[in-house]
Each structure stands twice: as structure tokens, then as C-alpha cells.
Structure 1
């Protein structure tokens, strides 16, 4: 049976609840429990690794037996495996839930299959409700599940004519305060912030995440410097609250594999045109984050250089996710157009 209006509204709420949870190795998931007549009787979300999953969190807020015949509206397909916690599919069945509506199928090899298991047990299943919104929320986590490596966001700021700096190399500040604040917020959401050694030598960035007042934010990404040259003893990155990593090789896939082994989930690439272009050229940029300032610089210091395109037929086509005005600047978020959404699961 297609989702009702009450279930669609509940899914909007579930996605909002999911966003309260922390980004990381575990997905952000929200759940809303509807009575047999469509009223919200409970809700919950995943609070972090080792805590109850969203469905169990929502069920735990109900008196025993009151979920019988209810509908569970969940942003991610209920899991079907035992990790730090038990399978949500079993918990829903044992609670007497009669119908499960979810947005995104779980792509995990061990965790997927909850919907099929519940259907086989007689529970009504409705997949794909607000799937696009659910996929956007879980984008970085889904990348890790699908590709087995961290999600990579490549960020740059540019003038309206595509320059990252003036001809003398100066680039502070191309964009305004609102755009810079947005960048620092996104740094704080990443596990690692990557910069090329050329940028470290030229600009001496601190690679910290700061508040608009200049104070350090609570969460700081691990600085990663890529390039063969040495980092100066007085470089600002050496004063970063977290120890930096320095990798001299050019194999970005190997670097990402190492970061994955360290438990890294999200990488924020913010270290100059050479590094940004290398990630794009290697096909390792999952998201492009560009800030366009209404300023003209001319010259040759482009925001990107060689990305492996020699003819228009080879152009790397992107899909625009959003365009927003931040002060006088534009923020454009785009992803590779050929990237397919995960289909494993229901």
C-alpha cells in the first residue's frame, strides 16, 4: 500500500530527528511510531555508536504492548544483524508492529535484509518514501558502505571568473564572512581536513575549525598534509589541537584506504588547486563544494587545473544539489552525475 499522508509527514519528522544524531561510522537514523489510526505515539533517533538504534529508542518510550498494530516510519531500512545492539527487525516484530515504512535501503553486506525478513514474517513493508531526502542525509555514510572508503568533499573558493587567487598568489579573502563561517562549520563536521604541501608552504593555514569569533570549535578535524616536501618547523599546522598526518606519496586511493583503516568517515579537501584537481582527476571527489565570490581577478591562478579533460566530450558532468546565497557569495554543491545511488536491500 502506498504511503499515506500521515506516513509521509512522519518521514519528514524522522529525517529531522535523524539529523540530531552524530555523523560518523554509524548512520544518522530517525524513527516515528504511528498508532493504527495514524497518530504519532513515539519517536526516537540514534544517539551514537553503542546506543539504541532509532527504532528501539522510539519503542523504549512506549508502554509495553502499545506498539501492537502500529506503523514504524524509519529513515533507514531496519537492520538485520547483531552488533553492539540487536537487530531492529526483530525488535519491531516482537513489539507487534504491523507496518514498516522506510526511506533508504541499507546497503551493508551484514546489516541489510531487515525489510525482506519482516515481510516474510507478515509485516507490511513500504520502501523508498522520501528516498531522495533520505539519501542526501546519509550521503557520506552511504559512500563508505558502497565504496569502502571515506566520503570526500572537495572544497574551493573562487572569483566569478574562476580564479582561486590573484596573480601574486594572494587569496585572503576572496569570499565574505558568511561563506567562511559555513566552511568552518563544515570543517568541524569532517574527520580529516586535507591540504597540499604547496598550500601549507604558501599560505601557512592552521587547518582548524573555528567559530565566527575565532575560538576553536569543540570538534577538530585531523590535519592531513599531502606532498613530498617537508613541513616547516614553525608551520601553523604544528600547533593544531590534533596531531597532523603527513603522507608523501601520490596514490590518493592508498591514502584513503589507510584513513578508512583508521576509522575515518569524512575527508574535507581544502588545500589548493593542485590537490583539489588530483582528487577530481582520480575520480575520488564525491562532492564538490564551491564558493563563488562576485569579484574578478583575471590572471592564470585557476581554482582547478588539470583534471584529465582535453575535449568537451570528456567533461566531468555534475549534478547540482543546491545553490545558496551566503552574504554576497554563492555556495554551490554538486556531485558527479554518473554516481548511482545504492540499490542493495529492499
Structure 2
């Protein structure tokens, strides 16, 4: 399945841009990505989860916000159905304006164990704590002090990373604040890969849709087990 997933993704995610930004997440039929009080839900089935890890393996970097790191401690590596070779692993990137990434984070331990690449932390140009920075860098983390203080998403962040680290394809997985911010920002995201699970969460669920959303052009969709995965480009 992973070979088929990779072929399907590569076919529909071709790009001639210097850096391609892909936003990906799983949601319920009624547009929720989490339950009451941001309760984490396992929405993706086995097959669509394998597809997501295939996307990780063909991406140069994978981005999450600091909230996801603190609440879920994800590994952010490609490991389903089996652990991908280190060369096929994406570089973890954490959006962390106040340098709250713990030294015990799984993305750091994965790097020290040789099952993940050295993570990058993007932090604020205004609020960088030098002691925290030195501690993270001592653990192998690369700290990039590029985030502006207004909380707005800018494509320049990823253009900078492309120039410094030669990233060509960057996937962004969340969490909710990151997804909502990107969907309401102009000109940042190129493609969406969205898994829709056949469940209803209800009004107490966490939706990531805001008043401002991009126009989309459907590229392809495919059934993965119980889920449907849509690929669309922004217009």
C-alpha cells in the first residue's frame, strides 16, 4: 500500500515551485479535528495513516506547532508500516515563539537514537531566551530566529528554510492553531491533503474553519480503507 500511496501522492503533488507547502490533517465528516476541550481523536484508519506516513517519507520537512509537541509529543518520523531509512525521514520543524520545546521531546530523542533527523525550531526574533537556545542547540536542535511578533504566517519563513536547508517540499500537520492560521492566510499553502473519516463529532468538537478560507481546485480523491483522502490546490 505504501508504494501505491507514494505513487498517487507524487503524481498529484508535482510542483515547479522553489518550495512546495502542503497542509495535511484528518477531520470528521462535520469538519472537526478534535473532540470536546481539544480532546485528541484517532480519526485516521490504518490505510490512511499509512498514506500520511508515505507523505512524510517523500517530504523534506514536517511542521507542527509547539502545542502539538507539548500535548502529544509526536515523533514526526515516517514509521508506518515500517520505519523508513534515515535518508527518507523528514526534518521535524517546530513553530515555537517562546522556546518551550522540552529537551525530552521525542523529536530530539529520535535524533539522538538515529531514527530521525535533527529538528529545527522556529522562534521569535524578539523573544529568544539565550539559555534555552543554548540548551536546545546543545541537544542537536537547530534554532532559527525568524518568526515575526505579529503571529501572522509568511511564505518567507519557508523560502528561508528552502535556501538554508535545500527543502523542496514541506508538509504541515498541525495542530489546530497552525491549521486555522494557514487556512486564513493568503499565498502560504500550495496544496491540501485532507483525510475525511466517516464519523460525526457534533457541536462540541473542535473545528479549524474560520471566516476566511482559500478557494480550492480539486485534483484527486481516493478511498483508503474507511476514509476518503482529498488532494486540492489553492487558487
3-state secondary structure, aligned to 2:34: coil
3-state secondary structure, aligned to 1:187: helix
Of the three residues 108, 113, 121, the one matched with 1:246 is 121
* Alignment partners' CA distance in 2, 1:276 and 1:143: 21
2:49–2:80 Cα contact (<8 Å) kept: no
* Alignment partners' CA distance in 2, 1:294 and 1:202: 25
* Alignment partners' CA distance in 1, 2:56 and 2:27: 18
- Equivalent position of 1:231 in the other structure: 101
* Alignment partners' CA distance in 1, 2:103 and 2:26: 28
Runs of 4+ in 1 over 3 A off after TM superposition: none
Which of the two has greater strand per residue? 2
Asked whether 1:330 is paired with 2:228, we answer yes
Matched residues, number? 191
Asked whether 1:160 is paired with 2:62, we answer no
5+ residue gaps, structure 1: 1-18, 24-132, 145-149, 310-314, 339-346
* Relative contact order, higher structure (CA 8 A, sep 6+): 2
- Equivalent position of 2:197 in the other structure: 293
* Alignment partners' CA distance in 1, 2:40 and 2:28: 10
- Equivalent position of 1:258 in the other structure: 160
1:104-131 per-position Cα deviation (integer Å, ceiling 9, x unaligned): xxxxxxxxxxxxxxxxxxxxxxxxxxxx
Structure 1 residue 172, shift from structure 2 partner: 4.0
* Alignment partners' CA distance in 1, 2:29 and 2:94: 28
* Alignment partners' CA distance in 2, 1:278 and 1:143: 22
* Cα gap change, 1:212 to 1:172, in 2 (>3 Å): farther
TM-score (norm 2): 0.74
Asked whether 1:210 is paired with 2:79, we answer yes
- Equivalent position of 1:185 in the other structure: 54
1:289–1:333 Cα contact (<8 Å) kept: yes
Asked whether 1:277 is paired with 2:147, we answer no
TM-score (norm 1): 0.51
- CA-based RMSD of the aligned residues comes to 2.2
5+ residue gaps, structure 2: 1-5, 111-115, 124-146
